[in-house]
Amino acid sequence: MGPSPWGDHSSFILMASLNWYLLTSIHKVKHRIHFILCSAIIFQRIQHCAKSIEFLPQIKLQNNLSPVFSYNPCEDFYGYACGNWEANHLRTGTMESSNVFDVLLEENQLILKRLLEVPQLRVGSSAKEKAIQFYHSCMDTQQIEAEGAQPLKELINQVGGWNVTGPEKQTDFNQTLQTLMGKYNTFPFFRAYVGPNSSDPSTNIIQVRGSAGDGSWKGQSQGTFVLVMGFKSQVVRVYFSYLMKLGTLLGGPQNVTSTFISFALSFISNLQKEVTPLQKRRERGMLFYHTTIRELQEKAPAIDWLSCLQAAFHPVQLNISQPIVVHDMDYLKGMSSTVNHSFVLQIYMILCLVGNLSPALDSRFQDARRELFEKLHGKTGESGMVLAHRWKKCLSDTSTFFEPVLGEMIVQEIFPQETKELVGILLPPPKHKLSLISFSSFHSHLIHCQGQVTSLFLTNVPSFFGSEVEIRRRSQAVNSGCSLSFSASSWEVFPWSVHSYYSLRRHAVVFPAGMFRSPFFHAEFPSAVNFGAMGVIMAHELLHAFYDYGSCPRCNRDALVRGTDCLVEQYERYSLQGLRINGTFTLLENAADTGGLAIAYQAYKNWLKKHKQERNLPGSGLSHHQLFYISFANVMNTLLILFILDPHSPPPLRVRGPLSNSQDFARHFHCSSTAPMNPAFKCHIW
């Protein structure tokens, strides 16, 4: 084996104290790495069985890590380590939880469900009480069914009426657009939002997007109906049927509804023609066009841009010189011209509002939407829309408006107060070039922003639809204002999420609190298990921060090239279900898998030097080192192996590849020199 490409100038080691801790000593690296702890990452202990889904963690761990002895670990370690999980889950699992991450996510959601379903003894005004009220109103299907379509009919009349269901009032186009954008988060002609500034990723900027990134056009913010695939006729027919159903459910006569829906679809077709193809915008350098509201007003004068954007982002004060980013200026100019020559603006805008708010109505509207997705994607197709339980829909809706509140609720439930001080062991020594964005400061900011929403939420809103509309009315501007003023630490996942990720834009490694639970981590587990699962996950994500190899000028470049070439060749020799792996496409993830395993195992060995007493797993017959590798493999448990455009290799190969490169694995499982899991030539990068 050649010298490490990182020479003697750096080491990257995950270590542990009590269960584990993070130690890193990266030198001469220009990146700043932030650990965004989406919730306080601390040790989980079970105080009361009734307070946790996890009962007797040692027994659960034994079930998870029990190997299948009919498999030879030196020939098929994935089958050896994961076969029992697959067999057990085939009997008890669902298609919604086909891998270990999905199972853990559903457990986290069940915790939130239980917390939100506490009896309402009084109508309070705190953010937590508002979240519980909202969830309960969503679960009150009896009242939702009794109200039917009436709440939306009344709202339509308030914004000028709709020719589909009755006469329209004479309204000002821009005034209606301002109302839809500011109060109901509905954007019929374009999407205005706050996003990262391409010229300064540490800040956010108002952005105007006229079309989706693939050239499709979204009719409204939630994506309830999205005309895609080049406006193909078969797709239009499906949407026409869906929109017809919405119109008739709202009381529109069949013939009248058909006429006006046809007008609206024709108008959408005209808008679609103004969309500039993504490739052309990229070639012309127009993906991120920096401009001002004044220039946008000159180029697309049909829209009162300052008033509309002010309505969307109130109470943030905007002016005509406000910097913004436009993603398709040609579309906005063409859209402006189309709007000036159309007679169906009110019909179309209200149709967008209907598409946005109808999911909050009774089961007839739910059935219509489900039928739409099934026709477009199949019963469990690309849309991912399946027949979910009502509580999952209500939890999703509640988290949309009360994410910080739910995050705090689940953290308090999962992590007892007396263990929170242990989070300090995750902090690296000050000399290292790492910085920690503390959860407390970011969380308090989010709670402050959320408090602005909940403090304005009407206490006596009588129904779920009213709750949905009222919170939407208040939250659009509040969330936008908070995003503008506080960007660097925003999350891209919920705190109860189970997927870590590396944000290239922020040079940030994010580990949601929802991950720090069994089977990835538990205070009662042997440290070998915590290192093998959570330790490898953390090391894997941290390595993504160093994909820019030029950031280490003193590294051994020749060894680095040899290592990456070796990995490409290794994975391209693999096949699964008759299909071969693209070693170049999956290289970065394969490198992080191999490096993450090596780093976490080295960290575990360093931990053992300081902690002679390692907790055993009774009855397993496995050494601590063997437990480490089985725990690593169990992270990859899955029922479905999908060959899709995924930069990761399929799970069985994410086990086989890294372990085949580990001499330590071969030694602890006593693999012969001819065993498939112990090839003579092994690839190393880190």
Catalytic residues: 541, 593
- Residue 573 contacts residue 683 (beta carbons within 8 Å): no
| 88: its two tokens | 């057990």
List the Cα angle 593/594/597 in 5-degree steps: 80
Pairing label, strands 323-326, 289-292:
antiparallel
| Contact status, residue 183 vs residue 312, Cβ threshold 8 Å | no
Q: Please list, in sequence order, all residues whose beta carbon lies within 8 angstroms of the beta carbon of residue 648, skipping any fewer than 6 positions away.
A: 586, 589, 654
Long-range contacts (CB closer than 8 Å, 24 or more residues apart) made by 375-380 = 375/238, 375/241, 376/235, 376/238, 380/95
SS3 label, residue 576: strand
Instruction: Give yes or no for a contact between 175 and 490, defined as CB atoms under 8 angstroms apart.
Output: no
As a whole number of angstroms, the distance between CA 51 and CA 53 comes to: 7
In the Cβ-directed half-sphere of 315, how many Cα atoms lie within 13 Å? Answer: 4
Task: Measure the CA–CA gap between 58 and 637, rounded to whole angstroms.
Answer: 19
HEC per residue, 220-251:
CCCCCCEECHHHCHHHHHHHHHHHHHHHHHCC
249: left (phi over 0), alpha (psi -120 to 50) or beta: alpha
Angle of helix 464-485 relative to helix 345-357, nearest 10 degrees, comes to 100
